[in-house]
Structure 1
Amino acid sequence: MTASNENPDNIPSYSQEEVQEILQNAIVRKVDNQDHFTYEQLSEMAKELDISPETLKVAEENWQQQKTELQQRQAFDKHRWQKIKRRWEGYLIFNAFLVTLNLITAGTVSWAVYPLAFFGLGLVYDTWETSRLEGEKYDRALEKWQKKKSA
């Protein structure tokens, strides 16, 4: 609740965010244990709040678009981390083979440390880059993945 300088009677006033939270809480309490609402119920609630059907439709479309974008981002993130996981698995299998071969032929680990180190550094860098991907770079990578996926 925010205090208002223009409010001589000490009638509470609320910010837009507070109004939204209070109304969401009231809607939850009004429909006791109901998990899903029909479009008619949604329209009725909007009408009670003096929200026009057009505004409701635009809000619903925006919500659906945001939901779709979030799902795409989650799928992209899952893809990126699965790709890194597969690369680590390949790295471990390949280098286990090299170390085993080196042990069998030389009786010690000597030359196998070089590919282990060089490939490992590259993989660590790729993992680090994947974990830091954000902002504009993330958006470009997401667009590239979406194009590749749809092709």
Structure 2
Amino acid sequence: MSNFPLSYPESYSPEDIQQILQIALARKAEGEELTRQQLWEIASELEIDSQSLQAAEQDWFERKAVQEKREAFNLYRRSQFKQRLTKYLIINIFLLSFNIAIAGTITWSIYILLFWGLSIALNGWKAYQTQGEEYERAFQRWDFQNEVKRTFATFWEKLQKSWQV
């Protein structure tokens, strides 16, 4: 006996319709991409007005841009963490070796290893944390700094071009 209903419902919620259409479009377009023209034709067949589709497309485009920025931010944070971790390992291997060479055993270098290790562990946790208020603040700060850098770079290029004329 199947767990599926014996008859289909007479009506669907908007969320159900969206999910069903997403599945159908995914099956239809498996392995191929749909063009923007095809998107507009599908919307027309579904009687979606052009303003709604254009607003939805703009919203999707903005969300995609933010998602790409978040992915770049996550990569940046993780690469920063990897650099710190590498520096920690190199320096602490040197200090442990130096401590063993001088004292014949590990004495004072273990304290540096442990306290710095705690800091590195916290940095690693932050680098791989992608939700929460602190993450949002860090992302907003990083995004703002990148916008300032891009604005300054654009200004500098225009200034250099004007000097060359």
Could you state the TM-score of these two structures normalised by the residue count of structure 1?
0.82
Does residue 45 of structure 2 align to residue 48 of structure 1? yes
Give the whole-Å Cα distance in 2 for the aligned partners of 1:139 and 1:81.
16
For residues 135 and 121 of structure 1, what CA distance do their matches in structure 2 show?
21
Question: More relative contact order in 1 or in 2 (CA 8 Å, sep 6+)?
Answer: 2
Q: Distance in 1 between matches of 2:29 and 2:127?
A: 44
- Alpha-carbon distance in 1 for matches of 2:59, 2:35: 18
* Contact 2:96 2:109 survives alignment (8 Å): yes
Cα distance in 1 for residues equivalent to 2:26 and 2:116: 54
For residues 10-49 of structure 1, the aligned pairs below 5 Å read 12-29=10-27, 31=28, 33=30, 35-49=32-46
Mapped pair 1:103 → 2:93: no
Amino acid at match of 1:24: Q
SS at match of 1:14: coil
Q: Give the 5 Å matches for 1:2-151.
A: 12-29=10-27, 31=28, 33=30, 35-132=32-129, 134-150=131-147, 151=149
Q: What SS does the aligned partner of 2:12 have?
A: coil
Report the TM-score when normalising by structure 2.
0.75
Give the aligned CA root-mean-square deviation in angstroms: 2.1
Greater alpha carbon shift after TM alignment, 38-47 vs 19-28: 19-28
Identity %: 37
126-135 vs 101-110, greater mean Cα deviation? 126-135
SS of match in other structure, 1:126 = helix
